[in-house]
């Protein structure tokens, strides 16, 4: 494994689930079968499937999209997330301070990513109604946190649906990002917080791209038929 803590996303999900269900863990938020586990597509859904199985909880998805800079799309200037028709957005002020983007260019990126977000909602959830969140504990799961933009957007969208509490659970994350999210979430569970951080894929042996079919299979309780 060359020192990497996780073989693939499903292994990461099993290890994360073990942390969440450890009787010795002093939970800020009790977790039980009434919790709703929400994976962030694509790769986070494979991690979330293992967490939901361990908790005996319902699994669903919250659609998210990074808003990349027009000239550097790999660098997030913000993110979008949706629960049902409600769309929330966040800005990465530190990125925008160093890379100013005009309103027209920012709107074009947002329109494009909103279209992809809606496509993914339809691809993964079909015409099912939005997940019932009111009064429940939501567990937001991704495969890692580098900048935290998509998770912050997901938190905002989920909070708008009225859950009793929101837990952020990820296998690995940048320590400063996890600390920032702990102010927004009721609890953050992140077993591996290396510094310096780098990219999420550094902590996996297999961090190949996850397909739409794998996401649908995970949501249906399947294995996806291939490597995670």
Per-residue confidence (pLDDT) for residue 61, from 0 to 100: 95
Residue 142: per-residue pLDDT? 97
**Is 3 part of any domain?**
no
Q: Is 58 exposed, middle or buried (0-12, 13-18, 19+ CB in 10 A)?
A: middle
Examine residue 1 and state whether it is found in any structural domain, yes or no: no
Per-residue model confidence (pLDDT) at position 74: 86
Q: How many domains does the chain have?
A: 1
Write the CATH number for 147: 3.40.50.2020
- Please give the average pLDDT of every successive group of 10 residues along the chain, which has 228 residues: 82 96 82 92 96 95 94 91 92 91 95 95 91 94 94 96 96 96 96 92 95 94 44
- pLDDT value of position 226: 36
Direct distance between the N- and C-terminal alpha carbons of the chain, in angstroms, rounded to an integer:
16
Question: Does residue 226 form part of some domain?
Answer: no
pLDDT score at 148: 92
pLDDT attached to residue 228? 32
What is the reported pLDDT for 32? Answer: 82
Which parts of the chain are beta strand (E)? 36-39, 58-61, 63-68, 76-83, 86-91, 137-141, 165-169, 187-189
Q: What is the pTM of this model?
A: 0.91
Give the distance from CA 156 to its chain's centroid: 12
Q: Which residue range forms the structural domain that includes residue 53?
A: 9-219
**4 inside domain:** no
User: Does 90 map to a domain?
Assistant: yes
**Would you state the pLDDT for residue 23?**
85
- What pLDDT score was predicted for residue 43? 95
Sheet holding 76-83, edge to edge: 63-68, 76-83, 86-91
């Amino acid at each position: 494994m060359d020192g990497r803590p996780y073989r693939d996303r499903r292994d990461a999900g099993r290890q994360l689930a073990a942390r969440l269900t450890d009787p010795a863990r002093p939970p800020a938020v009790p977790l039980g079968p009434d919790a709703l586990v929400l994976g962030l597509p694509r790769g986070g859904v494979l991690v979330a499937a293992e967490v939901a199985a361990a908790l005996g909880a319902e699994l669903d998805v919250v659609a998210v999209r990074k808003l990349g800079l027009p000239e550097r799309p790999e660098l997030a200037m913000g993110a979008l997330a949706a629960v049902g028709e409600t769309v929330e957005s966040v800005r990465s002020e530190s990125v925008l301070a160093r890379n100013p983007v005009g309103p027209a260019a920012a709107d074009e990126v947002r329109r494009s990513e909103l279209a992809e977000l809606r496509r993914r909602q339809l691809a993964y959830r079909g015409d099912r109604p939005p997940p019932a969140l009111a009064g429940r504990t939501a567990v937001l799961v991704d495969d890692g946190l580098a900048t935290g933009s998509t998770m912050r957007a997901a938190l905002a969208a989920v909070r708008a649906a009225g859950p009793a509490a929101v837990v952020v659970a990820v296998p690995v994350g940048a320590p400063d990002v996890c600390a920032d999210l702990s102010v927004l979430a009721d609890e953050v569970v992140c077993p591996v917080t290396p510094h310096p951080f780098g990219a999420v894929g550094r902590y996996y042996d297999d961090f190949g791209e996850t397909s739409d079919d794998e996401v649908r299979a995970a949501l249906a309780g399947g294995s996806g038929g291939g490597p995670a």
